[in-house]
Chains A and B, each alone.
Chain A
């Protein structure tokens, strides 16, 4: 029903919507300034461990099924690393949207997830900077400059949006400013072959740091999460292309298995460093298997930026990762929360330190 032509026609929308999810992720990262540093470090460590493990596994195993060598092999490995390093913040709303499901463990999981988002977004910027730039770009062959421009564009967009929202209190004009700055960032990054999601996440962080009404702006942005996420997920699924044969199935299996293989032992070790009241089991790593907005965003933008086997296989692994997260992560999280006494079915007053995660 949805043809390739339709998907190609929707390409601009896909790019903007996917990058917007990164903006929301950036907004959430910036919102967590009160997160204990130890959890930030742990979340980053978990994300980096997943990234490294997925990259190494892809580097070693993908050439078995796909003819990859040299630069293509590196790009595939880095893409798979991005595909495997998110822990979905939005999955944690399973707890935050239910009054009875709140408490220290819920917060700990959400903090780890939020910090982990930084890894795939930085990984994406690195991947796009070293990938061959469009022939018409003067950044071709200057990966470090490309990386700097990615972050720089995000900073400029964030500063402009923050300054303008300081002098503009009307809601509709504020939407125009936010959408305008974001679109400009996405368009310029796409034209230069850079990672638009990273630029937008940077923009959101800068906006949150500099804007006067940051809470109101965050609320505005958060209200778009659900309407944007659902079509992005559908578009990610619709773009799956299984014609790479063995390589496709390897990509589908590799990332979820490596994620599980790395998260279980890493979380088993890290759990001692979390708040004393948390009662995480050694299997708690499975509860952090969820992947969502950032992974879908990675899959879609990599597929658009690197058309061909790399883009197709990274997208496939992203979708597989999201599905595996739903199948494995959700029940595991419920089990952990119930075990910790935070997941009873009766409605009760939210815990004082509970945070809303979007």
Chain B
């Protein structure tokens, strides 16, 4: 199907039928196996999420929803809270694959950033970050304080402590979702100022959030427990995280660039980087085997999982490291396009795994309890994002398209926001769990709404294009 959706109703009916059969098979198997069978359930769950994610995303396209929303809906549908075909334990086990998916997404995100583009957009980016961060911290944080009586985890807190928790909420609200933006970009392959600006903003927002979070946590420690005293150790940790992640990302980028260079050199000498066996059949498309890029992809997968674990172990930021690596390859070597092409080959698989698992993770029973507050906070964040984006665009003198739609890619939230919530739980266990439950609810709303708005904006501005996809069968 093209980006705008062009498959016939017959094809859609077939897809719906296959989806029902797939769910039926999974249900029958679940009935046959009495207990959750650990690893096997996780493998079956992953397969089910992949198939259901692809199919639901196709069907969601009929009503104009982006693929990401379809993946999320598939995860919610198959997950523990609706059909229960993928159990809680399986969802937890699949978290490992999320790390890998996130590594590939960050690598692609970094590789999408070009120095020239960043230079041109520097002024706009600076204003956008300033307005977005300031407005969200003040307005969303303020609203959070105003809603204190609806938030049981704030009971008994004084004004200062509540302000600190509201600031932490503001930081959480300031996080964006690079993975959601990249997911939409992978589906639509858009080109234009809105695409470039959104990508640059969400990728750089990671650094802004890390800095802001460190500052806020340091202040909140004092605000919540005046006896604790102000400590600079948090800043040392942030410095370690940012510089370490940057240094490791640069090293990884250089290694990848060297690998790409060697591969290109080998190809130039007349052979593929590894012989795969010649597909001599005339019916076989030229890229069906795609040996060279597939080898690169395998290298990335082999590197991604252990490196993500290692980076977390030494308290570095995997998202930032892989982003820097992609940026280095794109801007300081000739292998950027090949890297992007290799990662794009994983396209559907990576995003389905990431977002369908995220959908399965969504705590629907928890959301039912807090939905009015969650919806209010999400709505307010959306309003503030729109106003801040327009104000920043006006000051920076951006193109009308940025002024009008610049906010659309900033609504999505996903793994980064949940990671921030988890960190806050660890730092402040006294109120952390309640904070996290609310965060999961709000992030869930933004996760579902954000991609839809961004796709709408790309469609309306004409930046989305289905040209990158081949014509469809059926």
Contact = CB atoms under 8 A, between A and B. Distances in A.
Interface of A: 11-12, 15-16, 93, 96-97, 134, 136-139, 153, 156, 160, 163-164, 166-173, 175-177, 179-188, 190-192, 212-213, 215-216, 218-220, 222-227, 356, 358
Given A168-B472, A176-B50, A213 B44 contact: no
Contact of B348 (A166, A172, A226): A172
7 contacts: A164-B55, A187-B41, A187-B42, A191-B44, A223-B290, A226-B274, A226-B276
Contact of A97 (B7, B275, B288, B290): B275
Given A222-B276, A223-B289, A166 B473 contact: yes
B448 interface: no
Given A156-B21, A187-B43, A226-B276, A219 B281 contact: yes
B18 interface: yes
A172 B346 contact: yes
Contacts of B295: 227
Given A160-B22, A166-B474, A222-B279, 20 more contacts: A93-B277, A160-B18, A169-B470, A173-B347, A175-B345, A176-B51, A176-B53, A180-B46, A183-B43, A184-B50, A188-B29, A188-B40, A190-B44, A215-B279, A216-B288, A219-B285, A220-B288, A223-B288, A223-B290, A226-B276
A15 B277 CA distance: 25
Nearest to B25: A156
B288 A219 contact: yes
A136 B33 contact: yes
A177 B11 CA distance: 15
B39 A163 contact: no
Interface string B69-103: 00000000000000000000000000000000000
B45 interface: yes
B47 A192 contact: no
A183 B29 contact: no
| Chain A contact surface mostly | helix
Contacts of B298: 227
A170 B470 contact: yes
B15 to A, nearest CB: 7
Size class of the B contact interface (CB-based, 8 Å): 35 or more
B37 interface: yes
B398 interface: no
A192 to B, nearest CB: 6
Interface in B23-41: 25-26, 29, 31-35, 37, 39-41
A181 B15 contact: no
B33 A191 contact: yes
8 A-B pairs closest in CB distance: A187-B44, A184-B47, A183-B47, A180-B50, A187-B43, A190-B40, A172-B347, A191-B40
Nearest to A224: B294
Contact of B39 (A167, A188, A190, A225): A190
B243 to A, nearest CB: 31
A176 B346 CA distance: 8
A184 B289 contact: no
Contact of A186 (B43, B278, B283, B470): B43
Contacts of A223: 276, 288-291, 294
Contacts of B32: 137-139, 192
